[in-house]
Structure 1
Amino acid sequence: MQGLDVVHILLLFFFSYWGVRYPCALLTGMWVVRPDYNEDGSPTLQVIHMDCIMQAAHMMPVFGEAFIGQDINYANSLDSFDTFYVNKFIDHSAFEITF
């Protein structure tokens, strides 16, 4: 991933190395956006410093023609859909930096 990317943060964590504590995030890339996968079908993962995270993105799923299940909610929606739209009009700062 290069530059600004829309990502799905999977885990926030810290680690220490030689007395320095590093705040990090484990993430997978997205961009209309969809998850990023390796050639073997596994998700592409990266660990980054939390200072590299600019802001949250408002993403809306791309719905197909079928009905969606009633069990889909905020906690599982990123894993329930394959493709998302990024809403750059959610607020002023998102509009300024998106695309």
Structure 2
Amino acid sequence: MCTEHIRSCPSWRSGHSHNDCVFVSTDSSLPGIQGLEWGEVYPCVVVHWFDKIGNAADEDMGMWVVCPGEGANNIAEYTIIHIDTVYCAAHLIPVYGTEFLPPELKFYHSYDAFHTYYMNKYADHHVFEIAF
């Protein structure tokens, strides 16, 4: 892969917002996903953090489970980071549960409608190599 486009815009093609999910390298001395956590603040990109749940990938699915990060008073955790710390794009799969999804739920509601996500290690070979 020579070029990867990572997008974040409030109105994609005069419609809903388009916000890609990415991995951020904050400690290159740690192996794989252990070095992909929040750390120092760099100006440039607004990031809504996701936290790993547990210390290993999910035993049944073989993928890490993450949830939106929350700071004090259960408020979503956002930070501004330098664009050079973005490592590569990430793909999250919602943990759906047992209930049917409402028909009005659109794909662009995904990051707001679910509480936990599988980190898709099969999105591309880069993700498979760094996160697992």
Establish whether TM, by shorter chain, passes 0.5.
yes
CA distance in 2, matches of 1:96, 1:73: 31
Number of residue pairs matched? Answer: 84
TM-score of the two chains, using structure 2 as the length reference: 0.56
Moved over 3 A (4+): none
Counterpart-to-counterpart distance in 1, 2:69 and 2:105 = 22
**Residues 71-96 of structure 1 deviation map (CA, whole Å, 9 limit, x = unaligned):** 22231111010000001122111111
Structure with greater helix percent:
2
- Which of 68, 75, 81 is the aligned partner of 1:42? 75
**C-alpha deviation, 1:41, in angstroms:** 1.2
The reply on whether 1:95 has 2:115 as its aligned counterpart is no
Name the SS of the counterpart of 1:33 in structure 2.
Answer: strand
**Unaligned regions of 5+ residues in structure 2, if any?**
1-23, 27-34, 53-64
Matched position secondary structure for 1:79: helix
The Cα of 1:23 is off from its aligned counterpart by 6.7
Of structures 1 and 2, the one scoring higher in RCO (CA 8 A, sep 6+) is 2
TM-score (norm 1): 0.73
Q: Which has the higher strand share?
A: 1
Aligned residue runs from structure 1 range 1-99, under 5 A:
2=26, 3-5=35-37, 24-30=44-50, 31=52, 32-99=65-132
Q: Which runs of 5+ in 1 are unaligned?
A: 7-21
